Amino acid sequence: MKKSLFVGVAAATFVGGSAFGADLEAAKTDAPPAPLPSFWDTVTITGDLEGSTTVNFANPANKINFGRLFDDRADTPNFNQGVLTIQRPLDPKATGYDFGFKLQGLVGEDARYTHYLGELDYAINSRTQIAPIEANGLVHLPWVSPISQGGVDLKIGQFVTPLGVEVITAPDNPFYSHTYIFNAGPFMHTGVLATDHVNSWLDVSTGVTTGENTSIGWPGDNNNSPSILGVIALNLLDGNLVINAATHDGPENPKQTDPYLVGWPFGAVGGVSASCGCNPNTAWRYLNDINVVWKATDRLTFITDSAYYHDNGWNVNSMTLRGQGVSAYGIAQYVTYKIDDQFKIGGRLEVFRDNNNFFVSAYPGNFDYVNIEHGFAAPSVITAGPQNSGTTYLSLTAGVTITPQVPKNPYIANVILRPELRWDTTLNNVTPFAGGTKRSQVTFGLDAVVPFTLK
């Protein structure tokens, strides 16, 4: 009798529970779905602040670290950059149409080298300047095909170059100082770039730009011809091996040689500019970079960056006044090892050959760099020697990245400290350092970077 009663109670409980569960599931089904995040919810606002100093043991009288750009000033404190980024990246998992954008600007001494021509390049006459880095719209097109399993992404506007390993924004570099490869290459472009996600391990990008560090129209573009941009990216071994090959090719020489069109030093006659010994609209510059990032373990990473640059102009023949071409090539090998969440050590070895003393220079004046890009007079620019000879540079850098945590707050998670010791020398007895008096220089650099998040 007791057993029958127990079974009956259990059955009633089961039936009642089942009915209650069904009602609960029905209530869940009838409940309105959670609202999807709005476009603004997916927008982020981030940035960084960077300050630094570099001690040059060669004691250059002109206080210039020759061959360097973002760390070109010796023995003085620097406000390198304050960067603000507002962006809505594309959703990498999007299966339909998706839209995004990126707006990024920089204020600081680094802006002397990151101007789009014609955009705020002469707005501030000091070492601290202001410049846009990116201003572009992003579109994902879910156009799947046998040659596009992941669809196509479009980037339209102004964007940083896909060439090379190192970048403008300080927190995203392994060292404070930059390579000759980075300094001699392009920084940004204006144009359209389409990326075809061929499959899970291959992306192919093609685009058209106005040139190297250029905007649109005069004086935003230094000639009347467009350039082409191409990238092949391989993502292998579950992301542990990444290979990128990129090229940017087109006319880059200025179509005038002075701001007043008076013909400094000889002007342009018959479509041939006396400064480059070429027609600026047809003399092409070829900028090529291949880099490999291999994450050997969770802590150990190897990076190899190689580049070849060539311009059909310059190196002018004294008899014909025609450019004979200039070129440079180099390779840099990085290795980094993460000790723990706060300490990472690294080394970098680079060999760079500037065949015609064209790609490696120093720019003491605040406007020297953009003056050269515009084709204006810049007599204070320092080169290693004449263009009919060349220089081979060897650089060795050792550094530590320290990321101490800060008291918990919603805006700053940590700071980055990067002390480094760097030795630069030439392999062919050229003396470009310390005002042209020494074959080598040793520098100790230290920067402090504060990345922040506002949204």
| pLDDT, tens digit, 9 for 90 and up, residues 48-72 | 999 999 999 999 999 999 999 999 9
Is 422 among the domain residues?
no
Is 404 among the domain residues?
no
Pair 272, 278: CB distance under 8 Å? yes
- pLDDT tens sequence across 384-435: 999 999 999 999 999 999 999 899 999 999 999 999 999 999 999 999 999 9
| Structural domain harbouring 304 | 78-392
Residue 283 has pLDDT above 50, yes or no: yes
Measured at the CA of 58, the angle between CA 57 and CA 62, to 5 degrees, comes to 115
Q: Pick the residue with more confidence: 217 or 246?
A: 246
* Nearby residues of 82 by Cβ (< 8 Å), 6 or more positions away: 47, 48, 49, 50, 106, 107, 108
Is 430 among the domain residues?
no
How far apart, in Å, are the Cα atoms of 187 and each of 113, 167, 169, 234, 305? 9, 8, 11, 22, 16
pTM assigned to the model:
0.89
Is 149 among the domain residues?
yes
- pLDDT tens sequence across 191-217: 999 999 999 999 999 999 999 999 998
Is 255 among the domain residues?
yes
Which pLDDT value is given to residue 22?
A: 45
From the list 369, 331, 323, 329, the residue with the least C-alpha distance to 349 is 331
Which pLDDT value is given to residue 274?
A: 58
Pair 110, 182: CB distance under 8 Å? no
Q: Pick the residue with more confidence: 45 or 12?
A: 45
Which pLDDT value is given to residue 30?
A: 60
Least confident range from 60-64, 336-340, 376-380, 444-448: namely: 376-380
Is 49 among the domain residues?
no
Which pLDDT value is given to residue 377?
A: 82
Residue 267 has pLDDT above 50, yes or no: no
From the list 153, 169, 148, the residue with the least C-alpha distance to 105 is 169
User: What secondary structure letter does DSSP report for 405?
Assistant: B
Average model confidence (pLDDT) for the chain? 90
Is 347 among the domain residues?
yes
How far apart, in Å, are the Cα atoms of 243 and each of 174, 246, 249, 305? 18, 10, 20, 10
CATH, residue 93: 2.40.160
Reported confidence tier of residue 94, pLDDT bands at 50, 70, 90: confident
Q: What's the whole-number mean pLDDT along residues 124-135?
A: 97
Is 382 among the domain residues?
yes
* Nearby residues of 91 by Cβ (< 8 Å), 6 or more positions away: 42, 98, 140
Q: Total structural domains in the chain?
A: 1
Reported confidence tier of residue 275, pLDDT bands at 50, 70, 90: confident
